[in-house]
Amino acid sequence: MSNEIHVLTNGQIIDALDPEPRSGNIFVQSGRIIDISFQESDLQRADYVFDLKGKYVTPGLWDVHTHIGKGIPDHEAKEEMLSQRTIRAGINCREALKLGITSLRVVG
């Protein structure tokens, strides 16, 4: 990964500590968040700046009850091959990521 610093700026940051979203800057390097700042002057550190005006940024969400590989329980589902369930699980994981869900608790 690159050592370049990417900054997501002007996003409304939602966290568990503040009661209201705050406009801020998220600094990312090598695919990891390295800093969060609420001062515009910090943008000088950035190699690339992405403006998120009008967008919200949240921590990854959890789905604590999911059946990622199973469909509707019926007779056909019982006859389904493991490879078919595996493909469905991959598709369902991708769909969860699109919704901001980064962690799953699989219960069956």
10: left (phi over 0), alpha (psi -120 to 50) or beta: left
Q: What would the pLDDT profile of 49-98 be if each residue is shown by its tens digit? A: 999 999 999 888 999 998 888 766 666 666 788 898 889 899 999 999 99
Indicate the average pLDDT of the chain: 87
What CATH superfamily is the domain 5-57? Urease, subunit C, domain 1 (2.30.40.10)
pLDDT tens for residues 28-63? 999 899 999 888 777 788 899 999 999 999 888 999
* Residue closest to 94 by CA, chosen among 58, 59, 68: 68
| DSSP 8-state symbol, 27 | E
3-state secondary structure of 73: coil
Q: In the chain, which segments carry CATH 2.30.40.10?
A: 5-57
